[in-house]
Copies of this chain bind each other. A is one copy, B any other.
Amino acid sequence: MEIKALAICGSLRKDSYNRKLLALAKKIVADMDMECAELDLKKLDIPMYDGDIQEKGLPKSVLAAKKEIENCDLLLIASPEYNNSVSGVLKNLIDWASRGNNSFDGKVAAIFGASMGQFGTVRGQLHLRQILAYLNVLIVAQPQVYVWSCDKAFNSDGTLIDAKTADLLKQLIAGSVALVKCKK
């Protein structure tokens, strides 16, 4: 069985720590011989959600994003935490992609995040779990992967200094893949 993953970074910043974390997730997926596409939100340049725009038809960028999401089995979402929640960027993508049909319906997601602070996106991930559950996206209960003090968390080669967190990320993806297999 072939499993297709899709990587999504909730931060647009080029040197974002969440992008680094996502790169590690993509590497794990590649090592498991799975395909992994990436949704490049900076390039797609999706507009802010607006019902008046939707009425005239979903924008091309939104249709492209929806197609990518529908084509995948497993979402890898690196979600920064801004102001205790997910980024507006990620929420806006989700708001568009749930319009027309719900492109997320029945998917499995592995979510994780990095923050400069003490709490490593724990509050943002709680919101994201709730949002994705509403859209019928299944997420493993455990492990939950948080990278705090993220400016000091990575080696120069991009790997995580903390071996335990690196291992949790592997477990998270393995557990998520198991759920995908179960659903297929």
Show the binding face of A for B, using Cβ within 8 Å: 11-14, 16, 41-42, 46, 48-52, 82-95, 98, 118-120, 122-123, 126-127, 129-142, 144, 146, 148, 178-179, 182-183
Knowing A83-B134, A98-B83, the reply to whether A12 touches B51 (Cβ < 8 A) is yes
Knowing A88-B91, A91-B87, A92-B88, the reply to whether A137 touches B133 (Cβ < 8 A) is no
Distance between Cα atoms of A83 and B141 in the complex (Å) = 13
Distance between Cα atoms of A27 and B141 in the complex (Å) = 27
Knowing A86-B91, A92-B92, A93-B88, the reply to whether A136 touches B130 (Cβ < 8 A) is no
In the complex, what residues of B have CB within 8 A of residue A13's CB? 50-52
In the complex, what residues of B have CB within 8 A of residue A91's CB? 82-83, 85-88, 91-92
In the complex, are the beta carbons of A48 and B88 less than 8 A apart? yes
The distance from the CB of A1 to the nearest CB of chain B, in whole angstroms, is: 14
Distance between Cα atoms of A114 and B30 in the complex (Å) = 41
In the complex, are the beta carbons of A95 and B88 less than 8 A apart? yes
In the complex, what residues of B have CB within 8 A of residue A146's CB? 118
In the complex, are the beta carbons of B127 and A88 less than 8 A apart? no
**6 residue pairs, one from A and one from B, having the closest CB atoms:** A88-B92, A182-B182, A13-B51, A88-B91, A12-B50, A136-B142
The distance from the CB of A177 to the nearest CB of chain B, in whole angstroms, is: 12
30 A-B Cβ contacts within 8 A?
A11-B51, A13-B50, A14-B52, A48-B48, A49-B82, A49-B88, A82-B98, A83-B95, A83-B98, A84-B133, A85-B86, A85-B91, A86-B91, A88-B88, A88-B91, A89-B95, A118-B119, A118-B120, A119-B122, A122-B122, A123-B123, A133-B141, A133-B142, A133-B144, A134-B141, A135-B141, A136-B142, A138-B140, A138-B141, A139-B141
